[in-house]
Amino acid sequence: MTHYELTTGRLSVAPAQASWTCDDLFNIAERRNPKRAFLFVSKVLGRHIPVCPSTMRAVYRDLAGQIPADLPGPILFVGMAETAVGLAAGVHQEYRTRRSDTCLLTSTRHPVDGDLLCEFKEEHSHATDHLIYWPTDATLREQVKQAASLVLVDDEATTGNTFANLLTALRQAGDDGLANLQHVCAVTLTDWSGDALANRTELPVQSINLLAGQWSWQADADAELPIMPMVNVTERGAAELSPRQDWGRLGVADSRLMLGRDITAKPKERILVLGSGEFVWQPFLLAERLEQAGAKVHYNSTTRSPISIGHAIETALSFTDNYGLGIPNYTYNVFPERFDRIILCSETPRSAWDPQLLSALNNPEFAYYE
């Protein structure tokens, strides 16, 4: 068992079985959130710590390879915003090399034009509310309606409550919900929830992860609780979203790189590709292409998740979000001087970005998804 001393208490972690080690997968940080004081900060996700795209791709292949090839179909993959949007897309893309009867949906906190499938809560989160939309494509919509297997994807499961809330919302959606479900796969990088989801549904549940185990939290009764910034906003902002919603929010079967196709890289050039919020899958594909061209690429993303500096978080840039919601956003562990180029990828126009962030990133190259 490993112990982590935080300002508000002690976190104890005991891995039970793993294909990767704890040191490979995560470090710990402190949330600025009184509902849950700690955070497992992934070293392979590309959200809070810059990661090589090839490492991220290895994770996608590992997780997808554990999902049974003979699941009853059609198969619906659902990725959790904002942290697991790219993870779900990567696992889905790898699994789709074996099965074509699949569809990916991602939850969102940014309403778009479409038919709402369901809403659900992530109680412990800094932003609790999630929306999921029906696919706009009629064939994909029918696949979702007839889905026999459900693959839920998140970066980590701590209690299993969020997956349980999502499963309930999907089964109760619309007139009949997803009435044909026969099997559930809960896919995470790390799973600390035990059999929590299986104990809350009669459906068979298979847990798929890189590491599983147990955790315990001993709060310091005398510690001052952190104050969480106001980031729990699920609404349209003042900034216009790109009309291209073909990567997850409105359903996708097969995705390919469409962002920054004119961007090139020199061998060994040090490049940081920075995704933004929920818009992370197309930026990852761009980062992967540049790495394959011989550049030394790292991938990271902006986020609305408020985290204290310390432990896994060496540095933080705070700025006003690019969606026009007026809420704080952050990017962590980014040192601009370590890169020859930074490419900021966005589904909102450059004019929507906080000039303070652009200045801190030394006026990055900009890739808009249009």
- The percentage of residues in the chain with a pLDDT greater than 90, rounded to a whole number, is 80
- What DSSP character marks residue 244? -
Tokens 């180029």 — which residue? 341
Tell me, what's the pLDDT at 280? 98
β-strand partners of 83: none
pTM of the model: 0.95
Distance separating alpha carbons of residues 343 and 289, to the nearest angstrom: 13
Taking a C-beta distance cutoff of 8 angstroms, is the pair 241, 23 a contact? no
Whether the pLDDT of residue 173 is over 90: the answer is no
Distances from the Cα of 245 to the Cα of 199, 279, 282, 324, angstroms: 35, 10, 11, 18
Which residues are CB-contacts of 97 (< 8 A; sequence separation ≥ 6)?
none
- The percentage of residues in the chain with a pLDDT greater than 70, rounded to a whole number, is 98
Tell me, what's the pLDDT at 128? 67
Average pLDDT, the chain: 93
Amino acid at 134: W
Tokens 């619906």 — which residue? 76
More confident residue, 298 or 221: 298
Q: What is the DSSP pairing of strand 296-301 with strand 38-42?
A: unpaired
Whether the pLDDT of residue 31 is over 90: the answer is no
* Nearest one of 29, 59, 32 to 44, comparing CA atoms: 59
Tens digit of each residue's pLDDT (9 = 90 or more) over 200-219 = 999 999 999 999 999 898 98
Give the pLDDT band of residue 125 (cuts 50, 70, 90).
low
How far is CA 32 from its chain centroid?
19
Domains in the chain: boundaries: 270-368
Tens digit of each residue's pLDDT (9 = 90 or more) over 35-73 = 778 889 999 999 999 999 999 999 999 999 999 999 999
User: What is the three-class DSSP state of 197?
Assistant: coil
Tell me, what's the pLDDT at 283? 98
Give the pLDDT band of residue 168 (cuts 50, 70, 90).
very high
Tell me, what's the pLDDT at 235? 85
Scanning the chain, the segments in alpha helix (DSSP H) are 22-25, 53-66, 85-95, 138-145, 161-171, 281-292, 355-360
Tens digit of each residue's pLDDT (9 = 90 or more) over 247-278 = 999 999 998 999 999 999 999 999 999 999 99
More confident residue, 235 or 242: 242
Which residues are CB-contacts of 250 (< 8 A; sequence separation ≥ 6)?
112, 114, 133, 134, 135, 136
What are residue 253's phi and psi, to 5 degrees? Answer: -100, -50
Tell me, what's the pLDDT at 319? 97
Distance separating alpha carbons of residues 167 and 267, to the nearest angstrom: 46
Least confident of 55-59, 223-227, 329-333, 345-349: 223-227
Whether the pLDDT of residue 165 is over 70: the answer is yes
Give the pLDDT band of residue 123 (cuts 50, 70, 90).
low
Distances from the Cα of 224 to the Cα of 6, 32, 97, angstroms: 12, 11, 50
Distance separating alpha carbons of residues 307 and 330, to the nearest angstrom: 9
Taking a C-beta distance cutoff of 8 angstroms, is the pair 24, 43 a contact? yes
* Nearest one of 150, 109, 160 to 133, comparing CA atoms: 109
How far is CA 102 from its chain centroid?
19
318: number of Cβ within 10 Å: 14
264: number of Cβ within 10 Å: 11
Tell me, what's the pLDDT at 223? 82
Q: What is the mean pLDDT of residues 342-361?
A: 98
